[in-house]
């Protein structure tokens, strides 16, 4: 069984598809478990992100995250056994299985039907049939299963969907990778939900994730972000924070009284 530091002993090989994608000569090519079993095994048991769906052999659309990054995000959740967790972006189902193995009651939403079907099969095979996988838009959450104690997004956002806050109990946490809109590192946001219907938190270490389908940015966005960040003196991501209310959200530097942009 392949195991990774910071994660429960869930076998990643049960979740990664038989055919994945690797980069060769600047382009993605297929790597088949049948044709190259040793190479597939080495990749899946490594601490690497694995592309599982690619468009035009150039643009990754879905992936299995690097286990070390998964461990970092799960740690940020401050998870306790018995908590109900909303996962946005099921992918292969591996992350949901890790949450379930830690004692969470997991509801996961996946926008791609084929990926959701694959995850359900893999979760059953791995002994986690109680994980609920919903095919749908994760930005809407899963209102019929709310409230949640924790929300974990496995795709980057530049705007926190207010549905996530509405569906999270007071005192709950929302952990979401941030798109490179104010800091080029793409930091991780950890927000605490308040009883008044708002949420606030700071950014932590950098992580890299593909965006939510409805929150993709143009290719020029990163360059523009790097220019603004440099002009501001390259502050650390941890100096930034975000506040979300029913009226919208604001990014701030050092203090909520100092909004950015």
d(CA 217, CA 209): 13
Catalytic residue, chosen from 32, 65, 108, 238, is 65
d(CA 90, CA 115): 8
Answer whether 150's CB lies under 8 Å from 175's CB: yes
65 is catalytic: yes
CB within 8 Å of 170: residues ≥ 6 apart: 193, 194, 195
Answer whether 162's CB lies under 8 Å from 191's CB: no
Note if the bond before 187 is cis, omega within 30 degrees: no
Chain position carrying tokens 């308040």:
194
CB within 8 Å of 132: residues ≥ 6 apart: 106, 107, 108, 142, 145
Cite the active site residues. Answer: 65
């Amino acid at each position: 069984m392949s195991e990774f530091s910071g994660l429960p002993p869930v076998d990643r090989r049960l979740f990664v598809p038989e055919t994945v994608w690797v980069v060769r000569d600047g382009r993605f090519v297929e790597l088949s478990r049948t044709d190259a079993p040793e190479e597939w095994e080495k990749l899946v048991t490594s601490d690497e992100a694995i592309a599982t769906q690619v468009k035009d052999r150039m643009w990754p659309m879905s992936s299995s995250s690097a286990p070390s990054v998964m461990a970092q995000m799960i740690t940020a959740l401050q998870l306790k056994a018995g908590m109900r967790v909303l996962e946005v972006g099921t992918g292969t189902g591996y992350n949901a299985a890790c949450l379930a193995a830690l004692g969470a009651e997991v509801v996961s939403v996946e926008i791609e039907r084929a990926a959701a079907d694959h995850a359900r099969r893999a979760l059953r095979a791995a002994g986690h049939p109680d994980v609920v996988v919903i095919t749908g838009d994760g930005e809407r959450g899963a209102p019929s299963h709310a409230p949640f104690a924790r929300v974990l997004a496995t795709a980057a956002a530049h705007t926190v969907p207010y549905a996530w806050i509405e569906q999270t109990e007071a005192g709950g946490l929302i952990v979401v990778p941030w798109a490179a809109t104010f800091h080029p590192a793409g930091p991780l946001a950890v927000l605490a939900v308040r009883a008044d219907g708002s949420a606030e938190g700071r950014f932590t270490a950098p992580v890299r994730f593909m965006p939510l389908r409805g929150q993709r940015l143009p290719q020029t966005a990163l360059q523009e972000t790097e220019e603004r960040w440099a002009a501001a003196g390259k502050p650390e991501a941890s100096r930034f924070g975000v506040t979300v209310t029913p009226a919208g959200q604001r990014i701030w530097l050092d203090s909520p009284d100092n909004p950015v942009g």
